[in-house]
Structure formats: structure tokens, C-alpha cells
Structure 1
Amino acid sequence: MVRAFGSGPWPNPVVRVQSGSDREDRIQGPNSAKLKFAKVLCANCNNARSQSFDLAYDAFTEHIHQNSKAIVEVGVVQFSRIYGKGWRDERRKLTRYLVKNICCRLAEDGVQIPQPVIQFMDGSVRYLQNLILEMNINMAKYEMGVHLRDAHGIGEGSLWMGDHGIIYDSQNSPLGTYSHLGFDWFNVDYQMLFGHRRGRANFFSGDTVKLERFWPQGFSTGDAVRACRDCNPS
């Protein structure tokens, strides 16, 4: 769900799904084959150079998972509660983790990554460019997670990765790319805008992040439970 792309500044864009599936993929665990990109990063970049990004992400996901109900109820995440006094640096590392994941997806699909985005990942520039990121709460996934935990004893959580779409102009030149990723109910929409250098994110303004709650199109309260095949085999 990337809501801003439909109102972009391009006349009559053409959207093609570059990779993904006819439905959103649910990934059971971090070692799932669905999470393994083609070898688009060298071992040093994927391990030693980005290890601090991975650790920042691990701390973030652990906090989200352990405080799920409270965060969804208030719709707020506070970085200092996760990272302490160094939350600004850790937030930047978390952002770089997300950007690394996004760039791997683009590289795997043969999409050229803008140089400023690469410079943000390697630390040569401090400010994100070309990317729009939005953290939010997918209520359908939250409802399903609560149901799986309470009704079926499944509580390990899930990772999510959406279809990867690319926007082309009438000359078949790529204008941008979009998708989303997340875990449990936590969702990050992203757009890579090749012609727009200034990036932004809804979690850059301060310590406290307001997370919008949304129901995917066509879903409402109770739908996730009714979709459970174990409870509704017919």
C-alpha cells in the first residue's frame, strides 16, 4: 500500500509489477528463502559494514514485538525508549537498514540505484535523498496476529514483503519504484523517486513518531478472523 504515488506529478504513468506475487507474501522467519535476495552486495558490505544497521533493526523489532498492544493502542513509537540517549544515531542506522533492504530489491530487479542513496548508506552524506518512507500500522495484520496468538498459539510473528512496482513514463523510462515491507503489524511504505532529490520520512522529525493506523483496501474489522482457514475451513 503506497498511497502517495497515485497523486504523483507525472502525466499518465504506466505501472508494472517488476517482482512479487499476485498476493502479498507472508514470510515465516528471517532465514526464509523469500528474504534472500540475489547476491547484489559483497560479503563485506552485507556483514561487517552494515552490522550496526542490523543491530539497530533488531533492537527496534524486539521493542515493537514486545510492546505490540500498547503501541497499536496509542499509535506512537518513541526512539529514546528503544535506544536511550543515542537514539538519533541509532535512528539513522535503522534507516540505513531499511534503505539497504530497498536497494537490494531494486538491484535484484535491475533498477539503477541513485548515487545519493548509496552515499547515504555508506555515511558520506547524512540526509536521505530520492526516498520517501512512511512507518504505519496495518490493522488487518494486527488483527490476524492477535487471532493467531489467542486462538492458535502462534506468536512468533511474521515478516512481510510487498510486490515491487515500477513507474514508467510514456517513453518507457523509469520514474520511480514503490513497495512496502514490515513485520507483524508494523509496515513501511516506500517510494524511490529518481527525479526528486529531496527525500523524507514520517519518523525524521523527532523522538516520537505518530503511526497512522490503516485498513488495507477492502478490509475492515473482523475480516482477518473470517479469513482464517483453520477457523473457517469452508
Structure 2
Amino acid sequence: MNEPVRGAQAGILKFKPSLCGYCNNARTQPHDKAWQRLSEYLRDHEPPLKGGRRIPFERVFTGPVAQSMLDVHLYFTKLLGCYAFEYGVPLPIWEFGLCIKNGIAHPHMRLIFVPITSNSTRYQIQVGHINAAQVGNRAVSASWFYIVGNIGVAVSYCEPGRARLTRDPGWHPDDVGTLVRLAKVS
């Protein structure tokens, strides 16, 4: 279930302290800015985006495309880690923190970009609850959905050899090329 968010200061977007102030501000600021740039491009796109469409990242970012998309990946690494911490989902968030600290992509996390047909405003944000599959006391697969305006991002975490909770395999910074395909909504 998605929950509407009534603005940047909404309680659902605030987390218990799980990151140090430096990490949440200075260290991850490039990640926040990269997502802001990509989400604005996707929300402002004319004609409206449709599933199956390929988005060339070099049209979005003026600087190094690979670094900008790594920053987008790390933005969602941070958010998934914060939500997992907040709601007690036993993901290995220490791995998420190491990826952010070292500026490297999380090897088990992929992003699925989804066009959303909605009557919401271009700035309205909705977030879903984390769904997770556990083995013992740890989550081995998880998915979480984030929507802003007409674009959704399904964040998919899956350890090797485990079943992914999303149908679409999604995008990872290690994928070859500078395109992302928008998922088709069935």
C-alpha cells in the first residue's frame, strides 16, 4: 500500500537517527541532487512517458553520466536502508552504509523505473511499505516503492541465489550502456 506524503517535512519522510549528520547531509548531497535532476527530467518529459520507452541518461545529466547514475543508485540505497532501519526489516544495512561511504553501487540492489498514470501533482510523493522475504532472522530479498508525480521507482534488493520480489530485473550501475528502460505496467 502506498501512503501519500503531504510535503518534504511529512513525518513518513523523517527517520529515527540511523545516519550521522555528515552522511545524511554532506556525504549524500550529490545523491540527492542526482535524483532531483533525474526525477525532474522524467516528470517534465513531453509527451508523457510510457512503459518500454528507453531514457538516455546523457540527455539528463550534463556531467559524467555514470557518476550521476551511481549517485541515483546511492540515493535509493540510503532511503531503503533508512526505511529498513525505521521499520525493523532485517536487511544488512551496514552494507548499505559501506556502499555510501565508499561511493560504490550495492551489488544486490536494482532500480526499476515505472511511468505512473496519476492525477497527483508533479511534486506529490507516495511511499510504499517494504516487502521482504526472510530466511531465519535476516531478509534475503526485499522491495520498496517510491512515487513522485508521474514516475515510480521500485527498489529491489536480492541476495544471490534468492528469488527476487519484482518481476522486472531492473537497472544497476554496472549494466552496460547509458540507457534505462521504463518498466511496462500490466
Verify the 8 A CA contact 2:31 2:72 in the aligned structure 1.
yes
1:136 is the counterpart of 2:114: yes
TM-score for the superposition, normalised by structure 1? 0.65
Amino acid at match of 1:72: K
Q: How does 1:41-190 map to 2 (within 5 A)?
A: 41-67=19-45, 69-72=47-50, 75-110=53-88, 111-113=90-92, 115-123=94-102, 126-138=104-116, 142=117, 144-145=118-119, 155-169=121-135, 171=136, 173-190=138-155
Amino acid at match of 2:55: V
Matched-pair identity in % = 17
Counterpart CA distance in 1 for 2:51 and 2:111 is: 22
Backbone CA RMSD of aligned residues: 2.7
Verify the 8 A CA contact 1:130 1:196 in the aligned structure 2.
no
Choose between structure 1 and 2: higher helix proportion.
1
Verify the 8 A CA contact 2:142 2:156 in the aligned structure 1.
yes
TM-score for the superposition, normalised by structure 2? 0.80
Verify the 8 A CA contact 1:116 1:129 in the aligned structure 2.
no
Residue 196 of structure 1 and its aligned partner are, at CA, apart by: 5.5
Question: CA 1:173–1:98 in structure 2 vs 1: closer, same or farther (change >3 Å)?
Answer: closer
Verify the 8 A CA contact 1:114 1:130 in the aligned structure 2.
no
Verify the 8 A CA contact 2:124 2:148 in the aligned structure 1.
yes
User: Deviation per CA, 1:83-118, whole angstroms, max 9, x where unpaired?
Assistant: 124111111111111111111111112324254433
SS across alignment from 1:213: coil
1:208 is the counterpart of 2:179: yes
Residue 76 of structure 1 and its aligned partner are, at CA, apart by: 2.7
1:191 is the counterpart of 2:156: yes
1:39 is the counterpart of 2:17: yes
Larger Rg: 1
Amino acid at match of 2:96: V
Question: CA 1:196–1:116 in structure 2 vs 1: closer, same or farther (change >3 Å)?
Answer: farther
Counterpart CA distance in 2 for 1:114 and 1:101 is: 11
Q: In structure 1, list runs of 5 or more residues that go unmatched.
A: 1-22, 149-154, 216-234
* Count of residue correspondences: 178
Question: CA 1:189–1:25 in structure 2 vs 1: closer, same or farther (change >3 Å)?
Answer: same
Counterpart CA distance in 1 for 2:150 and 2:122 is: 12
Verify the 8 A CA contact 1:162 1:179 in the aligned structure 2.
yes
Question: CA 1:70–1:90 in structure 2 vs 1: closer, same or farther (change >3 Å)?
Answer: same
Counterpart CA distance in 1 for 2:77 and 2:137 is: 25
